[in-house]
């Protein structure tokens, strides 16, 4: 007296299994294809020297949801010339200053091998918004605070964001 097909319980179990499998596969793919460096553990096994970790800037205010919404909106305009704040300050002992001091010490230790001529450090990345300007400006500032002669050259011809960190936004180099 009961229908032989479709078997309702069998299809419900299949639907439940697929309902669990699809999100698991998607999460596995998202995590597996993520190439961002989130910490020291991501660099294990590489021959590139590790010079330090910089924590997320403490000047961001608002809730996590608010920061996420701001991040999902438009990025900073290309011609933005408002001065950016340096987080490294003389005689400051907060976490981010100490992190930049550790990076400075490690850079000095690595550069002691070649003491002839100028010491050159280049900060580069293929991705926009990866922190090149932030790192360059603050490493330069922490080097200058120690008394080292420091020259920071902004070679971004279009955005000039490094120059605006020091209040000198001009077109070109």
Q: What is the pLDDT of residues 97-115, one digit of tens each?
A: 888 999 998 888 888 765 6
Among positive and negative, which fits the CA dihedral 8, 9, 14, 19?
A: positive
Tens of pLDDT, residues 21-64: 999 999 999 988 887 777 777 778 888 777 888 877 544 555 55
Q: What is the sign of the dihedral through the CA atoms of 73, 100, 53 and 159?
A: positive
The CA-CA-CA angle for residues 115, 117, 121, to 5°, reads: 85
pLDDT digits (tens, 9 = 90+) for 112-135: 765 676 778 888 877 777 778 888
pTM for this one? 0.64
- The span from the CA of 165 to the CA of 57, in Å, is 15
Which 8-state DSSP code applies to residue 128? T
- DSSP assignment of 24-41 equals HHHHHHHHHT-----SGG
């Amino acid at each position: 007296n009961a229908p032989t097909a479709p078997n309702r319980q069998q299809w419900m179990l299949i639907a439940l299994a697929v309902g669990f499998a699809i999100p698991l596969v998607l999460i596995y793919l998202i995590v597996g294809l993520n190439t961002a460096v989130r910490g020291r553990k991501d660099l294990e096994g590489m021959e590139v020297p590790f010079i330090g970790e910089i924590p997320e800037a403490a000047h961001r205010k608002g809730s996590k949801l608010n920061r996420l919404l701001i991040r999902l909106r438009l990025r900073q305009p290309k011609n933005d010339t408002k001065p950016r704040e340096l987080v490294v300050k003389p005689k400051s002992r907060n976490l981010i200053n100490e992190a930049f001091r550790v990076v400075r010490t490690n850079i000095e230790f690595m550069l002691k091998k070649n003491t002839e001529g100028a010491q050159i450090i280049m900060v580069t990345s293929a991705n926009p918004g990866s922190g090149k300007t932030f790192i360059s400006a603050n490493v330069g500032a922490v080097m200058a605070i120690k008394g080292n002669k420091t020259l920071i050259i902004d070679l971004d011809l279009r955005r000039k964001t490094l120059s605006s960190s020091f209040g000198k936004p001009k077109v070109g180099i």
